[in-house]
């Protein structure tokens, strides 16, 4: 079953497997201060959550819920990755 799923995922773009297909897009772009809980619930069971998150990170998506994460949560990941890259570069310079 899992292998069949992987084959399927390789045949089609990840967006075709999004749990949010057919869900009101406004849910994923809540007004400032509004709840993100419902959108995150949809994302929780999404099989392409990681693809979605990486897409948003790669493309600098500044608004909305992507991969089950808010703008603030994605900013934190970008910051952590930038710090990790800087630390790695620093360690190769001093090695």
CA distances from 79 to 68, 74, 84, 85, 94 (A): 18, 9, 9, 10, 22
55: nearest Cα among 69, 35, 39, 40:
69
Q: Which of 20, 27, 36, 74 binds ligand SF4 (CB under 6 A)?
A: 20
Q: Closest distance between ligand SF4 and the C-beta of residue 23, in Å?
A: 7
Whichever of 15 and 83 has its CB closer to ligand SF4, that residue is 15
Residue 6 has a CB neighbour count (10 Å cut-off) of: 9
Give the binding range for ligand SF4 (CB under 6 A) out of 13-21, 29-37, 73-81, 85-93.
Answer: 13-21
36 binds ligand SF4 (CB under 6 A): no
The contact set with ligand SF4 (CB under 6 A) reads: 18-20, 28, 42-43, 46, 48-49, 52, 65-68
């Amino acid at each position: 079953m899992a292998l069949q799923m992987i084959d399927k995922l390789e045949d089609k773009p990840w967006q075709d497997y999004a749990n949010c297909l057919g869900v009101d897009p406004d849910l994923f772009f809540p007004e400032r201060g509004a709840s993100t809980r419902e959108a995150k619930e949809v994302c929780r069971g999404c099989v392409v959550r990681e693809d979605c998150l990486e897409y948003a990170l790669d493309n600098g998506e500044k608004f909305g819920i992507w991969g089950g994460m808010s703008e603030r949560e994605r900013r934190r990941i970008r910051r952590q990755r930038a710090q990790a890259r800087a630390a790695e570069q620093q360690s190769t310079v001093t090695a």
